[in-house]
Chain A
Amino acid sequence: MNRKMVFNIFGRLIRIEGVLLLLPAAVSLIYKEYSGALIFAGVALGAAALGTLIRYTVRPDTQVIYAKEGFAVVTITWLGMSLIGALPFVISREIPNFVDAFFETVSGFTTTGASLVTNLPEWQKGMLFWRSFTHWLGGMGVLVFVMALANNISDRTIHIMRAEMPGPVVGKLVPKVRDTAKILYLIYIFLTVSEMIFLCAGGMSLFESAIHSFGTAGTGGFSTRPESIGAFSPYIQWVITAFMLLFGVNFNLYYLVLIKRFKAAVKSSELWVYLGIVVVSTAVMTINIMPIYNDFGDSLRNAAFQSGAIVTTTGYATANFDMWPALSRGLIFVLLFLGGCAGSTAGGLKISRSMLLFKLVVREFKQLLRPRSVNRVTMDGKPVEEETLRSVATYFALYIIATAATFLLICFEPFSLETNLSAAVSCVNNVGPGFGEISPIGSYAGYTAFSKLVLSVAMLLGRLEIFPLIIALSPATWAKKAR
């Protein structure tokens, strides 16, 4: 284990977080919230100093890193980042309790959007900005951001990228990791800014359009309003629906479009399955909720928004779907698991993984039917490596175990089974809202500190896809020998 390298990269990251904290400080200044600005500047300075100190005192002997260093870096930076990111909320007394603030920040960075804040309208603008900005950073990945900026970390940063980017297989767009990271961020920034423009055109203030674009881009779900997107006009709701779906698409496809390889882009079967799921669930829900809204347009808009928000794990809401008929609620519960496409900012199991699992099941049936037959699983016309299939199956098992464990650990809470189960599923999949107590109009405020910590870990497990966290936390990884 190249510990020095792990901490060196950690130092760099904390320093960059310090720099990024200047952004909300600037926002605070613009809105003349001088105490807020001071808090952000203070935390920024502290983080930058700490990061610089770590970076220059821990000098690695070699820059060689392997997969386990990648896992370790990702885990400790995400934990460290959330701890530091929670400080402004605590110091400003917006969220006086540190555990609560940590939960909120983890929920931000992991793009879950699970909130325990009940007094949003009273919040300082700068604090609101930082809360949503964590979504934007966590969506594409903070380390990917660092990689796009720094040019001399290591030749093997691919291990870090793999650990941070979700999906069964992480590939590069261009030969160099750094250029790949840059391209991804440029696409990300372009889409975010486009959304802001569309939202501003719909009469939203610049501040709110930024907040909601961050929430959509990272597929997070923090809003400025207690009633989420329900507070805005149908135009805004449609724009956000469209952008949620756009951010749930594999970013590699945008790159293919960018380099004019349209055919390769539309060949992606994952994209079509993803769109198919959205269309079908929208159709079913529209019919199912017609009696409530008595209007086709309203029903369609609400159904489309909710299915988009849940599939992409954004977790925005235009209606309290907890009040919807059982069929729609059941559908939403199932959609909580699915997640967007691999290589997008969405959380969850990922469509491509579900597809591979389904294909594995089909293959097993074929094999049982004709034991001597040979069946290679393919995806988009290419054979899938057995190793990938194995890791997908293992991941699925771990994912179910993680969800079950989270659920069991919070079961002692005096809430309904529905509330607790949906809270566990929603946090592991980085969605945000659920049913009962944590419905779109509710919050996680009622949970005890212990459960909040359990759910925070669950969110990190979901965002980093379990393996990095488990590997980084096992002592064998940190053993002195065998680097």
Chain B
Amino acid sequence: MRIVIAGCGKIGVSILSRLAAEGHEIVAIDSFDDTVGEIGNIYDVMTVCGSAVDFDTLNEAGVDKAELFVAVTGSDEMNMLSCFIAKGLGAKHTVARIRDPGYDEKALAFMKQQLGLSLVINPELFAAEELFNILKLPAAVNIETFSGRKMEMVELVLKPDSPLDGVSLADLRRKYSAKFLVCAVSRGGEVYIPDGSFVLKSGDRIGLTAAPTEVQKLLKMLGLVQRQARRVMILGGSTTAFYLAEKLLESGNSVTVIERDRDRCEKLSAGLPQGAVVIHGDGAQQELLLEEGLNTVDAFVSLTGMDEENILIAYFAASKDVQKVIAKVNRPEYTEMAERLGLDSIISPKKIISDVLARYARALQNTVGSNVETLYRLMDGNVEALEFKVSADFKGLKVPLKDMELKPNILIAGITRGRKAIIPSGEDAIQAGDRVVVIAAEHKLFDLDDILLQ
């Protein structure tokens, strides 16, 4: 599938590398010679140097034959215009990054329709939503929701004195009556799709699927602290911080935002709902953080533009016994290092966006079968969790799961049928219209049929 990506900044390159790895034909557009040259050296993609709104450039990139056009330049307006031109030139689907909070939902819906956009992506908003979800359930290091919020995928790290240490998964099910399924375990850099005989160890990072209410129950049973964060301190007044603060305030939390730039502070103060505390000051100063009550908050979120700063200050906050600490880290190589330092909750807007586009591209490729509705990468990208909407021509309809022959390293982790979330056992069968969550390592799934061995 031919995909044209205009704008090769951080987000653009991240999308590009993900989609190129999925085997698509990528053409990258950027206005800087050097950027374009570097990308052509590293990835197997074609590059065109020029403006994303230039007619000749877009023609040279072959947008007329493009299945998907993604505009992720630094400017929202440029992205919109670029998508508009690309659509006019014959691109089938267009995706624009629009991140200015000034465009509200109504404005976006209007423009989406007028410009013929297939999808509007807002990395900052996506990141804020993910942060919000994690803050709701501080015991988890990561939490992803599937459609309709009826099923959640929660990642936990087993602490050294965890009651689950040395327990096999079969025993676990017997011991705890909660309905959940451990579907991926990461141990020492290796990722396992476990079966019943798998024995958990402390230090493992486990991923489990369950209905949201069951998750609460389970965590309580495990003795994991389960108090929602009420007081949150956010470092850095970025757009993500704005969205997050807004969401937190709306659901009744108290929020402190610390930002270095005076003008930015003014804007935040004017834009955020009542109750927000905006502090003008350098968050890298430990004194300032303590003065603003770092040791009294439930959660600390570090969202400055610098990965290094985020990691170090988050580490400092963790040392002050803040219950939940989250750092934004965009460089994948830093993520691993930060985890080794003991920071378990890391969030990367780049990764979120490339997941969204990878899912979108897969769904475009598979127009007849059971489409991918949601796609997340778990455990540092080694495992994918995908949600499929089951179409009537799925080959494994009504076959009990225990009789279904699946490819290795694939697990059916959850079924949503109407309002019911089913944690499947061997007797359950998939029906048309269900939504099925599949966990897959070392596979790229485009269709639900891809899980079957044949």
A385 lies within 8 A of B33 (CB): yes
In contact, B44 and A155 (Cβ under 8 angstroms): yes
Does A156 contact B42, Cβ atoms closer than 8 Å?
yes
- Which of A44-95 touch B at CB < 8 Å? 66-67
For chain A, give the interface size range. Answer: 10 to 19
Would you list which residues of chain A between 298 and 314 have a CB under 8 Å from chain B? none
Give the contacting residue for B46; candidates A155, A174, A385; CB below 8 A.
A174
CB distance from B321 to the nearest CB of A (A): 42
Shortest B408–chain A CB gap in Å is 21
CB distance from B382 to the nearest CB of A (A): 18
Contact A156 B44 (CB under 8 A): yes
Does any Cβ of A come within 8 Å of B284's Cβ? Answer: no
User: Is there an interface contact between B25 and A174, defined as CB atoms closer than 8 Å?
Assistant: yes
- Complex interface: stretch among A33-41, A115-123, A175-183, A468-476: A175-183
- The reply to whether A175 and B2 form a contact with Cβ atoms under 8 Å apart is yes
CB distance from A379 to the nearest CB of B (A): 14
Residue in contact with B43 in the complex, picked from A66, A155, A174, A385, CB distance below 8 Å: A155
Q: Please provide the chain A residues from 168 to 188 with a CB less than 8 Å away from any CB of chain B in the complex.
A: 172, 174-179
Give the CA-CA distance A303 to B361 in the complex, in Å: 57
Q: Which residues of B contact A172 (CB under 8 A)?
A: 46
A157 contacts the other chain (CB 8 A) = yes
Asked whether, in the complex, the Cβ of A155 is within 8 Å of the Cβ of B20, the reply is: yes
Contacts of A159 in B (CB 8 A): 41
Shortest Cβ distance from B45 into A: residue:
A175
Q: Is the CB of B44 within 8 A of A175?
A: yes
B34 to chain A, nearest CB (A): 10
Q: Residue B448 at the A interface, CB < 8 A?
A: no
Q: Closest residue to A171 on the B side, CB-wise?
A: B46
| Closest B residue by C-beta to A172 | B46
B194 within 8 A of A: no
Task: Note all chain A residues with C-beta closer than 8 A to B2.
Answer: 175
Complex Cα spacing A407 to B67, Å: 56
Per-residue contact bits, chain B 25-42, to A (CB 8 Å; 1 contact, 0 not): 111000001000000111
A158 at the interface (CB under 8 A from B): yes
Interface of B is mostly: mixed
Chain B residues with Cβ under 8 A from A174's Cβ?
Answer: 25, 46
Q: A155-B20, A385-B33 are in contact. Are A176 and B41 (CB under 8 A)?
A: no
A70 CB to nearest chain B CB (Å): 10
Q: Which of A66, A172, A179 has the most CB of B within 10 A?
A: A172
B42 x A175 contact (CB < 8 A): no
Contact with B along A404-440 (1 / 0, CB 8 A): 0000000000000000000000000000000000000
A158 in contact with B41 (CB, 8 Å): yes
Contact check, A156 vs B46: say whether CB atoms are below 8 A apart: no
Among A175, A178, A385, the residue within 8 A (CB) of B26 is A175
In the assembled complex, the CB of B361 is this many whole angstroms from the nearest CB of chain A, namely 14
CA distance A155 to B26 in the complex (A): 13
Q: Chain B nearest CB: distance from A273 CB in Å?
A: 23
- Docked Cα-Cα span, A174 to B44, in Å, equals 10
Which B residues are CB-close (under 8 A) to A157?
44
On whether the beta carbons of A176 and B44 are closer than 8 Å, the reply is yes
Residues of B within 8 A of A177 (CB): 44
Across the interface, do A175 and B46 meet the contact criterion of CB distance under 8 Å? yes
Which of B20, B25, B27, B46 lies at the interface centre, i.e. has the most chain A CB atoms within 10 A of its CB? B46
Most buried by B among A157, A158, A178, A385: A158
CA distance A159 to B46 in the complex (A): 14
Chain B residue contacts of A175, Cβ below 8 A: 2, 25-27, 44-46
| Residue in chain A with minimal CB distance to B43 | A155
**Residues in A neighbouring B26, C-beta threshold 8 A:** 175
B residues less than 8 Å from A385 (CB atoms): 33
Q: Which residues of A contact B44 (CB under 8 A)?
A: 155-158, 175-178
Residues in chain A near residue B43, CB distance under 8 A: 155
Taking a contact as CB atoms under 8 Å apart, the answer to whether B33 and A176 are in contact is: no
| A158 CA / B44 CA spacing, docked (Å) | 7
Tell whether, in the assembled complex, residue B41 and residue A156 are in contact, meaning their CB atoms are under 8 Å apart: yes
Considering the complex, which residues of chain B in the window 1-35 have a beta carbon less than 8 Å from any beta carbon of chain A?
2, 20, 25-27, 33
Kindly provide the distance from the CB of A347 to the nearest chain B CB, expressed in whole angstroms.
26
Contact with B along A158-172 (1 / 0, CB 8 A): 110000000000001
A residues whose Cβ falls under 8 Å from a Cβ of B: 66-67, 155-159, 172, 174-179, 385
A-B contact pairs, 24 of them (CB 8 A): A66-B41, A67-B41, A155-B20, A155-B43, A155-B44, A156-B42, A156-B44, A157-B44, A158-B40, A158-B41, A158-B44, A172-B46, A174-B25, A175-B2, A175-B25, A175-B27, A175-B44, A175-B45, A175-B46, A176-B44, A176-B45, A177-B44, A178-B44, A179-B25
7 shortest interchain CB distances as A-B pairs? A175-B25, A175-B46, A155-B44, A172-B46, A175-B26, A175-B45, A176-B44
